[in-house]
Structure 1
Amino acid sequence: MRAIELFAGAGGLGIGVSQAGFKPEAVVEWDRWCCDTIRENQARGVAAVANWPTPTEGDVKKVDFEKYEGKIQLVTGGPPCQPFSLGGKHRAQDDSRDMWPEAVRVVRESKPEAFIFENVKGLTRASFASYLAYIELQLTYPELVRRGDQNWEDHLGRLERHHTSRRRGDAGLTYQVVHRVLNAANYGVPQKRERVVFVGFRSGLGIEWSFPKETHSKEALLWDKGAAGTYWDRHRVARKDRVLTTKGAPILLPWRTVRDAIGDLPDPEFRPRQAAEISNHRFQGGARSYPGHTGSPMDEPAKTLKAGVHGVPGGENMVVRPDGSLRYFSVRESARLQTFPDDFVFHGSWSEAMRQLGNAVPVDLASIIASHVRTHLVAASGATRQK
């Protein structure tokens, strides 16, 4: 199955989609550093991007996608999130960086069987409720294009009227769309990272779909540390104070922790020579704790890695050692927290690489969602052939 990857960044979503069995026909990203990262890994023969085309570096607005009509099963991407990020300036639909209209255009022109788009949790804030509804209705009716004399609110009203009318079938290309806020930690990612994910299937395919069930839980981690105690045994760490729980043994797997993700890597501050043998694993000095920025404990999932408006906000990208000391995560450790393959390298300085990682989708979460989508597309395709 073939795909288009928009707003690719350093490739987290796209790599997960490729792992799910999709082959990208186009990869579009405007940021030079992100494109350099993808190109460098392609030149090194890294399997994660081996079957990717050379990324199209530039403004997605200037790319024509009509040539892909009838050739694409999936469109994916993370439209730039600054307008809605809790760390941004909250200009939302008035921000020129809002790329949702372009995402809708690509769907309209390429007419995929399905799409997956993701964005920051901030998009679901009450103050953005109308625009969230606007995004979903545009994705549902991508051919009901905003007229030149309409502002976005007028267009929203037009879409709502159409959606509630008897003329819904007259809209041409339509999709069945759902969205949900997902916590990556609940799917085995060693990071508490919440993103809103939109999934749509072309109407007429007869697909009934829901988001994959969660596989990991905080309760299971508490059990693993407490009543079972196997967490400490697995890491050969002296058992700490037991975290008792009144519940029985959980069904789900335990949340993965920072120690689970990076425990086998040498500390780049105290073992720099060993760390130098690992790509992107260098000590970065200057870490400090202050209110609201206290770092991630080793034995919990990491806090959300962030890119920030003016660079990396220090506290959220730090690890707190068991003795209470702290340091910045290395780029390699951050890649582990975002579940990138170990042979995937990041181009640029530490701050630049961390920006790429802070904006990325965890690879494993992307793979889980895309695999679930692909399973339903394959089943629908088989059912069509049997008719």
Structure 2
Amino acid sequence: MKCLELFAGAGGLAMGATLAGFEHVGVVEWDRWACDTVRENQRRGHPLVKDWPLFEGDVRKFDLGGVPDDLDLVAGGPPCQPFSMGGKHRAYDDHRDMFPATVEIIRRTRPKAFIVENVKGLTRAAFANYFSYIQLQLAFPEIARRADEQWIDHLVRLEREKTSGVLSGLTYDVVTRLVNAADYGVPQKRERVFIVGFRHDIDARWSFPEETHSRDALLADQFVTGDYFERHRIAKRNRPTPPGAASARLRGRNEPMNEAPWRTVRDALVGLSDPEQTAGPHLNHRFQPGARSYHGHTGSPLDLPAKTLKAGDHGVPGGENMMVKGDGSVRYFTARESARLQTFPDGYIFHGAWSEVMRQLGNAVPVLLGQVVASSVAQSLAMSQMAPAPGRH
């Protein structure tokens, strides 16, 4: 199956799509540092990226002439700064809003499906109308905004089309979900919005993948059976105090857990050396001094999934991308530790200084989460091709 990746960044979502079986006909990214990261890994022959046709530049200038007519998937995460909780929240007034460009590419390539990822901030009440506008544009990409038309007037036209009951031309069945990456095995509490669409003539019958990991399963693993701390060889005197109410509730539970435990920072960092002592053999694993804790920026405990890794205009904002060590002190995550938290493979190297690498990682889609979503889309596409349903127009 063929995929076109937009706003690829350091490659997290695109790598997930590769693992799901998609072959990329184009991987588009404007940031030179992120492109250097991809090119460096291609030079090293990394199997997940070595065959990517990388285009460094604006997606609006990408030549779609080489994209096949039977494109299966368009995927990407348009720049999140217009909607980020840490940004200026300008949305449609922000020149970095690339949703219109995304819709235009979907209109021109007519893929069987698309996957669009963005930050939780997109779902804020202040953006409610614009979020609806984004979804309706993706559902009806051929109903384009007129040159002299305000976006709110375009929204009205799209709403009328949706409620008309008549579907014609290029339309998509759109599903939107706010997900926590930790619920899918990523060792990080990272909430993101996914907008997934299937072309209306495709009998996909798709829904978002079920969660596979949970906080309750982690608490049971830690404080009911104790297996978690036994695995990590944590002496009983050094174990944290169990949360009373949750622990009691789980001890009284009779039915087995259907989910696996949330993966924690400690789980993710198994096998990595202490960077304050030695960098060891791992790539991008160097100690970064200067971490400090203050109100609102307290770091990630070892025995929970990490807090959301962040990217900022000036490196790491507020020093939040750090761990709380066993003695209560804090230090920054190394780039390799951060890559582990984003489920990038250890053999994948990042190009640039630490702050630049952390920006790439803070903007990335966790590879595992990308694989989960892309695999479910691939499965639905494959099943639809095996048994096309009559009567869909």
TM-score range, shorter chain: over 0.9
Change (3 A) 1:66 1:127: farther
Matched residue, 1:246: 249
Matched residue, 1:326: 330
CA deviation map 1:212-255 (0-9, x unaligned): 00000001111001111000011111132344231324221110
Output aligned runs, 1:222-371, within 5 Å: 222-239=219-236, 240=239, 241-243=241-243, 244-247=247-250, 248=253, 249-269=256-276, 271-272=277-278, 275-371=279-375
Shift of 1:20: 0.2
The number of equivalent residue pairs is 381
Using the alignment, how far apart are the partners of 2:128 and 2:59 within structure 1?
Answer: 26
SS in 1 for 2:194: strand
Change (3 A) 1:47 1:69: closer
Q: Is the 8 A contact 2:282 2:346 kept in 1?
A: no
Shift of 1:47: 1.3
Q: Is the 8 A contact 2:293 2:299 kept in 1?
A: yes
Matched residue, 2:105: 106
Using the alignment, how far apart are the partners of 1:198 and 1:39 within structure 2?
Answer: 29
SS in 2 for 1:344: coil
Matched residue, 1:94: 93
CA deviation map 1:148-190 (0-9, x unaligned): 1101111001101111114x323x1000001110000000000
Shift of 1:316: 1.9
Using the alignment, how far apart are the partners of 2:38 and 2:363 within structure 1?
Answer: 15
Q: Is the 8 A contact 1:17 1:371 kept in 2?
A: yes
Matched residue, 1:151: 150
Q: Is the 8 A contact 2:272 2:280 kept in 1?
A: no
Shift of 1:206: 1.6
Q: Is the 8 A contact 2:203 2:388 kept in 1?
A: no
Q: Is the 8 A contact 2:310 2:321 kept in 1?
A: yes
- Structure 1 stretches lacking a partner, 5+ long: none
Shift of 1:309: 3.1
Shift of 1:325: 1.3
CA deviation map 1:326-347 (0-9, x unaligned): 1000000000000001000000
Q: Confirm whether residue 380 of structure 1 aligns to residue 387 of structure 2.
A: no
Using the alignment, how far apart are the partners of 1:302 and 1:279 within structure 2?
Answer: 21
TM-score using structure 2 length: 0.94
Using the alignment, how far apart are the partners of 2:369 and 2:139 within structure 1?
Answer: 24
Q: Is the 8 A contact 1:185 1:217 kept in 2?
A: yes
Identity %: 60
Q: Write the letter of the residue equivalent to 1:245.
A: A
Q: Is the 8 A contact 2:42 2:49 kept in 1?
A: yes
Q: Is the 8 A contact 1:69 1:111 kept in 2?
A: no
Shift of 1:313: 1.4
Using the alignment, how far apart are the partners of 1:206 and 1:183 within structure 2?
Answer: 28
CA deviation map 1:40-88 (0-9, x unaligned): 00000011212212x1111111123254252310000000011000000
Matched residue, 2:76: 77
Using the alignment, how far apart are the partners of 2:85 and 2:284 within structure 1?
Answer: 28
Using the alignment, how far apart are the partners of 1:199 and 1:179 within structure 2?
Answer: 6
SS in 1 for 2:346: coil
Change (3 A) 1:320 1:88: same
Matched residue, 1:174: 171
Using the alignment, how far apart are the partners of 1:382 and 1:58 within structure 2?
Answer: 37
Matched residue, 1:46: 46
Using the alignment, how far apart are the partners of 1:13 and 1:100 within structure 2?
Answer: 17
Shift of 1:304: 0.2
Using the alignment, how far apart are the partners of 1:238 and 1:51 within structure 2?
Answer: 47
Q: Write the letter of the residue equivalent to 1:222.
A: L
